[in-house]
Amino acid sequence: MTSDGCLLCARALALAHADPGWLLRTEHWGVSGHPALPAPGWVAVQTLRHTEGLAGLDNAEATELGPLLARLSAAVTRVTGSQRVYTYSLGEGSPHTHVLLGPPRRDLRGAAFVTGLLRRDPSLADEAAALRVARDLAGDLATGNTPIT
């Protein structure tokens, strides 16, 4: 990873020193809180090298991604109690493949919720709750409840 003008590379370097920082790092992927909006339970899964979408993944990155997303979805379900975990990846604005995932709110679901996330609706943000849930997710992931196979 290099930070030569790449926002996610620079963010990745900062995460090494932040609290909670990386919630999980594997050989090919890093997991952290949502980078643009502190929505409780929302995380970003990004490649640790520059890639341009799913088609740009090498075999090892692709092999690791499916089980990693399943593991993260299970952890989000356990920690937040949400029975639904949304995922999306638009791939704009960064030379890293990244997938965002997390729970909807009980009072806002489906397209309305995702539209709010994309628009960075401040009503979805709760910095204290997002930090608390991120720490709980990091703890859950550290226990290896759902190992990557």
**Per-residue pLDDT tens over the stretch 62-91:** 999 999 999 999 999 999 999 999 999 887
Confidence label for 148 from pLDDT (cuts 50, 70 and 90): very low
**How does pLDDT run across 10-50, given as a tens digit for each residue?**
877 877 777 788 899 999 999 999 888 999 999 999 998 89
Q: Are strands 43-47 and 86-88 parallel, antiparallel or unpaired?
A: unpaired
Separation of alpha carbons 113 and 23, rounded Å: 24
CA R_g for the chain: 14
Confidence label for 127 from pLDDT (cuts 50, 70 and 90): very high
pLDDT at residue 8 tops 60: yes
Confidence label for 145 from pLDDT (cuts 50, 70 and 90): low
Share the mean pLDDT of the chain.
88
Look up residue 41 and give its two tokens: 């339970």
3-state secondary structure of 136: helix
Task: Return the bridge partners of 130, or none.
Answer: none
pLDDT at residue 5 tops 80: no
pLDDT at residue 99 tops 70: yes
pTM for the whole structure: 0.87
